Amino acid sequence: MKVKDIMAPITEYLSPDDTLQRAVLTMRTARRWHGLGVKGMVVLDGQGELVGILAIKDILRATIPVYLDPTISRFSWDGMLEEMARRVACKRVREFMSATVVTIDEDASLMACTDLLIKKNLQRLPVINRDGKPVGIVYIRDVYKVISQIFVDQPQCPL
């Protein structure tokens, strides 16, 4: 099985010039085959080139900057998180996206894909075609769906 056999085609994406507010709205309304929303989206420039990925963790990091003391909960006030979120809502995706993106070729094997997902601790992997253009995304859930079906299709294991 090849990556292209299970990838989700890129139908929605973010721009580096989008605000975080727009990115959040896009991510909240985008749906996958299982009906759940997405937890990250590719960021494409005006020429359709992959320039980054924005994940919910990036949005959370934008809201709670790393320079804050890790013991912030001791001196935070009610409504602090909400206020911090309001402050970054109009900032641009380019400021918080992961610009170093691991990709995989659409003709790569599912084994190579799984290996990358595990070794790099990734949840999603953009898929590129022979021309280096982004054409899809493989999510760890998609790989699990394939593997779990193999488990289900096997004869029951003896106890």
Q: What is the 3-state secondary structure (H, E, C) of 124-148?
A: EEEEECCCCCEEEEEEHHHHHHHHH
pLDDT at residue 32, as a whole number: 73
Averaged pLDDT, 112-132:
96
For the chain, count helices (H), then strands (E). Answer: 6, 6
The predicted-structure confidence for 11-48, as pLDDT tens digits, reads as follows 999 999 999 999 999 999 987 766 677 889 999 999 99
Domains in the chain: boundaries? 3-153
CA distance 88 to 90: 6
Candidates 3.30.300.20, 3.10.580.10, 3.30.390.30, 3.30.1370.60; correct CATH number of 3-153?
3.10.580.10
